[in-house]
């Protein structure tokens, strides 16, 4: 297994580090999600399930992620409108219709396919400045 760092395209779940999203593995886009254990999170146990996705799915996921980041930038600047529902998507009102289209298209694609499932350890490096799109976040996948 190659030990190089690869591109992280989205972080859709975060808790003490990336826990879900889209990143490359072996140069191809994959959906990743953290495997959680019953005991407290141990940094040596950063295990993830990965499943390959198409380049088109990756591109839709990036578009949805960028819409969320537009909201995040506005929120940090105090310019995002208040959300009427705490479960509402974190996107600006003008982006909501497109975000919902993307979410519907992505829901069946961003999942772990049991037939193609990989379990790997992920080491994430780099970070994005607050309020900026992911630039420079990478991951190195290694065998468990």
pLDDT at 17: 86
Q: Does position 134 have pLDDT exceeding 70, yes or no? A: no
144 neighbors 121 (Cβ within 8 angstroms): yes
pLDDT at 40: 58
Query: 131 falls in which pLDDT band (50, 70, 90)?
Result: very low
pTM of the model: 0.87
pLDDT at 42: 58
Residue spans per domain, the chain: 6-143
Q: Does position 54 have pLDDT exceeding 90, yes or no? A: yes
Model confidence over 11-41: pLDDT tens digits? 999 888 899 999 999 999 999 999 976 555 5
């Amino acid at each position: 297994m190659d030990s190089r760092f690869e591109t992280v395209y989205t972080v859709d779940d975060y808790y003490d580090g990336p826990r879900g999203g889209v990143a490359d593995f072996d140069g191809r886009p994959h959906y990743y999600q953290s495997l959680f254990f019953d005991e407290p999170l141990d940094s040596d146990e950063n295990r993830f399930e990965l499943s390959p996705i198409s380049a088109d799915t990756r591109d839709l996921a990036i578009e949805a992620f960028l819409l969320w980041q537009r909201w995040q930038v506005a929120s940090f600047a105090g310019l995002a409108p208040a959300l009427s529902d705490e479960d509402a998507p974190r996107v600006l009102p003008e982006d909501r219709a497109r975000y919902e289209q993307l979410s519907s298209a992505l829901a069946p694609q961003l999942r772990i396919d049991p037939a193609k499932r990989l379990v790997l350890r992920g080491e994430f490096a780099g970070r994005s400045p607050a309020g900026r799109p992911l630039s420079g976040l990478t991951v190195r996948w290694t065998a468990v």
